[in-house]
Amino acid sequence: MRFSTAHRHYFSAKDGAYSRVTEREFFDSQITLSDAEAELAVNYFGTTILVGNVGVDKEQAKKPFKLYKKNEFIYLNLVFPKLGKNELRLYISKRAGFKPPADHVWFLILDKSDVLNIGSMLETEWRRLGQDDKGDVDYQLAIEQNILVGSDLERGEIKTITLGERKTYYRDPRIARARFELAKYKCEFDSSHTTFPSTKGHPFVEAHHFIGISLQERFTTPLDTMNNVFALCPTCHKAIHYARIDYRSEVVSVLFRQRPFLATKYALTLDQALQFYNCDDLQF
């Protein structure tokens, strides 16, 4: 699959593609590239890709890839094995330096220097990419301490702040508090979910930006808005980031369908939303 906006942000990439390594691919030591992977490779290597078996021209078959997170290049055979066919095949090899096990996710990254990187990671690690939010605890605390003043509530601004040595985007706690009021302090995934009383006396809920605020640089439209913020019980807030994939997908899908604004304002589809949370089907 082609990288989503979230993947490009996480990897600081211009473009990328990924899929799961199958048992057969690992056993055969070869991967048939998907449409997105093939397009990326063809755009990068162009007409230098050999048409025919590796044995026809071993030197032309070899293509350089930079190993992800390593400042070194490896050479892997990449060919169109059948004349007149679009099937593009990558031969993986432990000796050459790249043979990810079955059920790992392998990926191609076109970095900002226009160099094609290759890498892999455990599927469990892939599923958690970009899901941790270091500033969330402070944000939730600020919401809890906030006293809502509706008359001067600002919406739709893009502001940056510096936390230590890290620059991040500001999340206005008043917007979250206004969303809580609108949701009547109930979980917007399932209003029957009960939580403990907060220090303000309301059922405790947490604010969740459906499109993560860390992705603001990828959008010209502000993400810190009432329509992008959901009130979730603590369990559902954790679930949307860390639950089993089928359950995580359900939470994402239910929330997405509640807000047509997400599709119209941010040109977001459900499939793209599922990619943001790494709960898409890795077979494609």
Mean pLDDT, contiguous 10-residue spans, the chain (284 residues): 91 95 95 94 96 94 96 95 89 96 95 97 87 71 66 66 76 90 95 91 94 90 93 95 93 96 92 90 63
Q: How far apart are CA 66 and CA 115, in angstroms?
A: 7
The predicted pLDDT at position 151 comes to 46
- Amino acid sitting at position 169: Y
Backbone angles phi and psi of 58, in degrees to 5:
-60, -35
Q: Name the residue with tokens 């979910």.
A: 193
How many residues are recorded in the chain? Answer: 284
**Crossing angle for the helix pair 245-258 and 234-242, nearest 10 degrees?**
110
pLDDT at 25: 95
The pLDDT, as a whole number, for residue 214 is: 87
pLDDT at 148: 57
Structural domains of the chain, with CATH: 5-125 (2.40.330.10), 136-276 (no CATH)
- Beta-carbon-side half-sphere exposure of residue 175 (alpha carbons within 13 Å): 20
pTM of the model: 0.74
Tokens representing 31 are 């991967």
Task: Show Cβ contacts of residue 188 under 8 Å, excluding neighbours closer than 6 positions.
Answer: 230, 231, 232, 255, 258
